[in-house]
């Protein structure tokens, strides 16, 4: 049940950190554009490093989260965070028929914890069907912090911005995207507080 896939349906409309914010953090004059390409590469690297390494989404986006089977128990975790909303929960049976499960009848979302969870309502069971062999369970999720058209903006913790600044600063100093052991340890320490 641990294997999952994530496909972006609607990418973020706003960046996790802007070029202007990164340049200010690096103390680069906004009119100096010679290093803009490098700084943007470092921004992309830093965002990818945090999102991939810590299963978080820094900016609001819609994704499809897929799983290979129903859990044995009455709940399963959603391994990306934060989840603002579960928009749908569907499964495909071995005959190729897609069925949408009904929230509060077939499942409930517990979004206030880390990880967020899908749980069975009292006295409910997972459908007893033979599932398709490739990603039969699909959840439509609104994930990420702040930004864009989020129904209820979820503020991004300061430690995420600090982690981005550290990664971008180190890369700028080295003139290439890199993470040394010290920076990685500091980021691990900062990120411990994010999912509490």
Maximum separation of any 2 CA atoms in the chain, in Å: 63
C-alpha 97/C-alpha 115 separation (Å) is 30
pLDDT digits (tens, 9 = 90+) for 80-113: 999 999 999 999 999 999 999 999 999 999 998 8
Global pTM value: 0.86
Structure-block tokens of residue 148: 């864009």
Confidence band, pLDDT 50/70/90 cuts, at residue 193: confident
pLDDT at position 159, please?
A: 86
Distance CA 166, CA 54 (A): 16
DSSP line for 146-191: S-TT-SS--PPPHHHHHHHHHHHHHHHHHTS----HHHHHHHHHHH
| Domain extents in the chain | 17-59+155-192, 61-143
* pLDDT of the residue at 156: 77
What is the average pLDDT value for the chain, to the nearest integer? 90
The pLDDT tens digits for 27-85 are 999 999 999 999 999 999 999 999 999 999 998 899 999 999 999 999 999 999 999 99
pLDDT in tens, 99-149: 999 999 999 999 988 899 999 999 999 999 999 999 999 999 999 986 544
Which pLDDT score, from 0 to 100, does residue 150 have?
43
Split at pLDDT 50, 70, 90, the class of 3 is: confident
What distance in Å separates the CA atoms of residue 73 and residue 50, rounded to the nearest whole number? 30
């Amino acid at each position: 049940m641990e294997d999952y896939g994530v496909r972006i349906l609607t990418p973020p409309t706003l960046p996790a950190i802007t070029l202007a914010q990164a340049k200010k953090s690096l103390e680069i004059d906004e009119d100096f554009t010679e290093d803009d390409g490098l700084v943007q590469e470092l921004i992309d690297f830093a965002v990818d490093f945090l999102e991939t390494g810590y299963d978080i989404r820094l900016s609001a986006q819609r994704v499809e989260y897929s799983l290979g089977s129903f859990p044995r128990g009455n709940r399963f975790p959603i391994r990306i965070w934060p989840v603002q909303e579960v928009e749908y929960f569907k499964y495909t049976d071995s005959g190729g028929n897609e069925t949408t499960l009904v929230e509060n009848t077939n499942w409930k979302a517990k979004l206030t914890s880390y990880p967020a969870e899908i749980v069975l309502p009292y006295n409910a069971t997972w459908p007893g069907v033979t599932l398709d062999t490739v990603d039969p369970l699909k959840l439509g999720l609104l994930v990420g912090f702040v930004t864009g058209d989020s129904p209820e903006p979820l503020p991004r913790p300061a430690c995420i911005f600090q982690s981005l600044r550290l990664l971008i600063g180190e890369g700028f100093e080295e003139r290439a995207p890199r993470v040394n052991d010290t920076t990685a340890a500091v980021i691990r320490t900062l990120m411990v507080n994010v999912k509490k």
